[in-house]
Structure 1
Amino acid sequence: MTTPRVESALPNQFDLKTGTLIVGAGACGMVAALSAAEQAQDVLVIEADPVPSGSTALSAGLIPAAGTRLQQAAGITDSAALFANDIQAKAHHQNDQALVDLLAGNAAEVIDWLTDRYGLPFSVVTDFDYPGHSRRRMHGLPTRSGEELINALRSACEDAGLDIICDRRATVLYRDDNQILGIAVTGPDGSVETIDCDRLILACNGFGGNRELVAQHMPQIEQALWFGHSGNRGEAVLWGEALGADLQNLGAFQGHGNVAHPHGILITWAVITEGGVQVNRDGQRFWNEAQGYSEAARAVLSQPGGEAFAIFDERIAAIARQFEDFKQAEAVGAIHSANSIQDLAARLALPADALTQTLRDISEGGTDRFGRSFSSHPLTPPYKGVRVTGALFHTQGGLKIDASARVLRANGAAIQNLYAGGGAACGVSGTGDSGYLSGNGLLSAVVLGRIAGRQNGAFRSR
């Protein structure tokens, strides 16, 4: 793997020239491209994969936004201020308030824009709540899958005539004192091309696929299953270090404690929030599952064998089937069904007496010994169960940016024509895993992509 580097010695002649150059064709990169094109800018997107996918395609494709027209149509009263408060509360007030306000305050405009201008058929998830969100504000496409989202954005870019060059990984960033001059990209055959640009937007996500950086910054999750995109190698972090950029909260990450094992299929956290529980090999619960799915990764990995079992019922499964991943898990036999707890225990190789007692101890309408409050919907047959493990999904720390999404140096000065969004930029998930509020990743991706793309003021001086 070629180590990303920064150079001040320029090639004799660049092979290509463009105005706005974007590294990465995930949600952030393609939103940035659409936004930049509307400013009559010359736009080029470079993507390392054969086709755009990235972390977006691996997600549920849900974007939180407060005050959208879709929310209003669904009778949901929400505001950017309330959304910002939820973000900060989940992150224990460890975030930069200006960044929280920037993301929360611009999310609704992005959803309305993508809906109205590009026809993306978003709708609000209205049949269950995500931990930490005080309103139902998760917006997704019909299949509730990131793959559908990435394909819809790619179609929008194609319809707009935008150039996305795939199979090219950015390896070198060319610079002078306070601006970016261009990049070098490497093709699958090892060939190198250089691209001159007026400004550069880094939308190349985080560093979860770089095991050395993960071990350095988040050793507590180093041994977890890597469930993110293998292309997340940390170029933005490494370039940022070389440029003297301000890198913040590199220990922050999104985990998930509900990945079907060994199938490697994400099981929506709705199976828990709607009244399901997690038990270990002994058939016993071991934590307050209502805290969230990100911190669930370490909770599950701490159990014997680094695994757990999500237990729910058919009522909950019916809600979960709006997610394509859940239907896939059912199709491959990852989810077991039984008409009695004893039969379900046998199917999952769990002690029947212990599992029976665990489910009997659930406090309907009250608070249990872990501090979790349950609704008045007890689990009823047919029961469902799936073996799960914990995983690292993506990192949340990165380059500090200003209100225009420009990258800042450690001294607070902006690098004139360098922008960042999505996983390349520092997010709003605090300093660890417990600060991750559902949808924070795509929130940063689409909002910062939109903001970075439409900036006309900071271009390279020649």
Structure 2
Amino acid sequence: MTQGTDAPLRRVLRAARIDAEAQAPVAIVGAGACGLTAALMLHDAGVDCVVLERDEQPSGSTALSSGFIPAPGTRVQRERGVEDSPERFAADIQAKAHGRAAPALVRAYTEAIGPALDALQARHGLQWTLLDGFLYPGHGVHRMHSLPQKTGAALMAALQAAADAAGIPVLTQALAETLWLDDADRAIGLGVRRPDGREERIACEALLLACNGFGGNTAMVRELLPEMAEATFGGHVGNDGSAILWGRALGARLRDLGGYQGHGSWVTPQGALMSWAVMMEGGVQLNREGRRFHDETQGYSEAAVKVLAQPGGVAWNVFDAPLLALAREFPDFREAEAAGALRRCDTVAQLAACIGCDAAALQATLDALRRIDPQPDGRVFQRALAAPYFAVKVTGALFHTQGGLDVAPDMRVLRADGTALPNLLAAGGAAGGVSGDAVWGYLSGNGLLSAVAGGAIAARTAAALLDTGRNDHGE
């Protein structure tokens, strides 16, 4: 596994109060899509917060993603005449997870995500477009939303700009190491390590962990996801498992630690995601023997394991000119092409030489695509690929994890006995998601669904907790 790190120092300390250099009603650890969405929603509710980001510039998993967010019942969907509902979306999530996604969270996220996207558009200027040229695996209708640039970097830039416009303080190079709780399990603050080594303490009335998962922690991946221990890590190195380490120290309940998003289309050696839309619309994955080895339409997450199981742990994405035009609609692909990832082959013999396989075996694979009846793996092709052929070498990668702290539908962290901690919340990658406990349970977009919906819910909960607490004290 590449680009990982060992377990960081994360502590939980107890005290009646802390001597703090600063105080905020709500403290948020992590300035990705989850943390910034929560901050924007708190701002809309009139609640001050501070966002703490370990990096010099917020980016995280969000910036490395495609930036696509699934949501039902949005303004954009209605304008395009797409009929959808939280119930239909929830059914798609559970179908992909074989019924093993947490039902209460599925309901909470599918009900919250549409209003959250509409609020970000109406109040903070994020202009969503609906990706309606194809369906991602497992989605029954067009519900994938994106900014016009179709990148996670653009999504992060838009969220950051909105936070700046709202005057929300985002403290960078602020590595949260210590959580402070009182004897009643109330979060009262945290210790933050600054670049000069100094610890700064920040007091708070509610605390949200929005610090993503553990994909960048090599030791934790080996422990919890052994099948991906040697895989390329395509996520953010800051995904160091902080939330799980704090959860273990707290005695909090953890959930679905075997769930993660893999990707079977990580361009190698260039290091970029190639859109799975090419596979869904008729492209194929071939191994070094020139043979297909799975039904590509089942999903890109589980494809990671299947690609890694092939000789050399690599495969070739093979497609033709119409699909190349589709691929070029995505900035990540254009960047990979510019870096030399795309190979053009005018004949089957040239394609076989590119892959390094027997030309006769490759011809048999391509000829099989002309059959109208299903392939042995169940896939049905609407048309065969035509020369010239195009090929991109890929491997399987780990992108981000889906397990984490178990949370109530209001995003409060749960103790081992299932009761909720008073004011410690977790959302996004810090919390267990809605993909079940295995790679195949990941429905396209589940990561940003959890981040944005979870951030919006957490903001609503934190605002209510502060209002209740202040009323109890006669304020």
TM-score of the two chains, using structure 2 as the length reference: 0.94
Deviations 1:139-189 (A, max 9, x none): 011121100000000000000011001011100001112210100111223
Whether 1:42 aligns to 2:38 is no
Preserved contact between residue 17 and residue 188 of structure 2 (Cα < 8 Å): no
- 1:351, 1:450 → 2: CA distance? 54
* Structure 1 portions without partners, runs of 5+: none
- 2:440, 2:172 → 1: CA distance? 35
- 1:142, 1:363 → 2: CA distance? 36
Match of 1:85 in 2: 91
Using the TM superposition, give the Cα deviation of residue 333 of structure 1 relative to its aligned residue in structure 2, in angstroms.
Answer: 1.1
The equivalent position to 1:243 in structure 2, one of 239, 247, 250, is 250
Cα RMSD of the aligned pairs, angstroms, is 1.5
The equivalent position to 1:67 in structure 2, one of 66, 73, 77, is 73
Using the TM superposition, give the Cα deviation of residue 8 of structure 1 relative to its aligned residue in structure 2, in angstroms.
Answer: 0.9
Moved more, 213-222 or 272-281: 213-222
- 2:86, 2:371 → 1: CA distance? 33
- 2:380, 2:147 → 1: CA distance? 31
Match of 1:429 in 2: 435
Using the TM superposition, give the Cα deviation of residue 115 of structure 1 relative to its aligned residue in structure 2, in angstroms.
Answer: 1.4
Preserved contact between residue 4 and residue 171 of structure 1 (Cα < 8 Å): yes
Change (3 A) 1:42 1:272: same
Using the TM superposition, give the Cα deviation of residue 119 of structure 1 relative to its aligned residue in structure 2, in angstroms.
Answer: 1.5
- 1:118, 1:149 → 2: CA distance? 12
The equivalent position to 2:239 in structure 1, one of 210, 216, 232, is 232
Counterpart code for 1:45? V
Match of 2:287 in 1: 280
Match of 2:219 in 1: 212
Counterpart code for 1:409? R
Preserved contact between residue 8 and residue 242 of structure 2 (Cα < 8 Å): no
The equivalent position to 1:343 in structure 2, one of 350, 357, 380, is 350
The equivalent position to 1:358 in structure 2, one of 346, 365, 390, is 365
Preserved contact between residue 8 and residue 240 of structure 2 (Cα < 8 Å): no
Match of 1:169 in 2: 175
- 1:38, 1:81 → 2: CA distance? 27
Counterpart code for 1:434? W
Preserved contact between residue 94 and residue 101 of structure 2 (Cα < 8 Å): yes
Counterpart code for 2:149? T
SS in 1 for 2:206: strand
The equivalent position to 1:260 in structure 2, one of 262, 267, 270, is 267
Preserved contact between residue 26 and residue 52 of structure 1 (Cα < 8 Å): yes
Using the TM superposition, give the Cα deviation of residue 35 of structure 1 relative to its aligned residue in structure 2, in angstroms.
Answer: 0.5
Using the TM superposition, give the Cα deviation of residue 381 of structure 1 relative to its aligned residue in structure 2, in angstroms.
Answer: 2.4
Change (3 A) 1:321 1:400: same
SS in 2 for 1:126: coil
Whether 1:201 aligns to 2:238 is no
Using the TM superposition, give the Cα deviation of residue 9 of structure 1 relative to its aligned residue in structure 2, in angstroms.
Answer: 4.2
Match of 2:122 in 1: 116
- 1:336, 1:10 → 2: CA distance? 64
Preserved contact between residue 363 and residue 373 of structure 1 (Cα < 8 Å): no
Counterpart code for 1:214? V
The equivalent position to 1:17 in structure 2, one of 6, 11, 23, is 23
Match of 2:4 in 1: none
Counterpart code for 1:313? D
Deviations 1:68-99 (A, max 9, x none): 12112222111111110000000000112111
SS in 2 for 1:457: helix
SS in 2 for 1:434: helix
Preserved contact between residue 121 and residue 128 of structure 2 (Cα < 8 Å): yes
Whether 1:309 aligns to 2:316 is yes
Using the TM superposition, give the Cα deviation of residue 365 of structure 1 relative to its aligned residue in structure 2, in angstroms.
Answer: 3.9
Counterpart code for 1:270? A
Match of 1:391 in 2: 397
Using the TM superposition, give the Cα deviation of residue 236 of structure 1 relative to its aligned residue in structure 2, in angstroms.
Answer: 0.6
User: How many positions carry a matched residue from both structures?
Assistant: 461
- 2:464, 2:130 → 1: CA distance? 35
Moved more, 105-114 or 54-63: 105-114
Moved more, 449-458 or 422-431: 449-458
Whether 1:416 aligns to 2:422 is yes
The equivalent position to 1:189 in structure 2, one of 193, 196, 199, is 196
Preserved contact between residue 28 and residue 448 of structure 1 (Cα < 8 Å): yes
Deviations 1:393-431 (A, max 9, x none): 011011121222111112121111111110001101011
Counterpart code for 2:450? S
Counterpart code for 1:310? N
Change (3 A) 1:83 1:265: same
Match of 1:328 in 2: 335
SS in 2 for 1:312: strand
- 2:330, 2:368 → 1: CA distance? 30
Preserved contact between residue 211 and residue 243 of structure 2 (Cα < 8 Å): yes
SS in 2 for 1:284: coil
- 2:278, 2:8 → 1: CA distance? 42
Preserved contact between residue 260 and residue 438 of structure 2 (Cα < 8 Å): yes
- 2:406, 2:337 → 1: CA distance? 41
- 2:44, 2:223 → 1: CA distance? 40
SS in 1 for 2:344: strand
Aligned-pair identity in percent equals: 48
Match of 2:113 in 1: 107
The equivalent position to 2:138 in structure 1, one of 121, 132, 138, is 132
Preserved contact between residue 304 and residue 396 of structure 2 (Cα < 8 Å): yes
SS in 2 for 1:220: helix
* Structure 2 portions without partners, runs of 5+: 1-6
TM-score of the two chains, using structure 1 as the length reference: 0.97
Moved more, 398-407 or 49-58: 398-407
Counterpart code for 1:130? Y
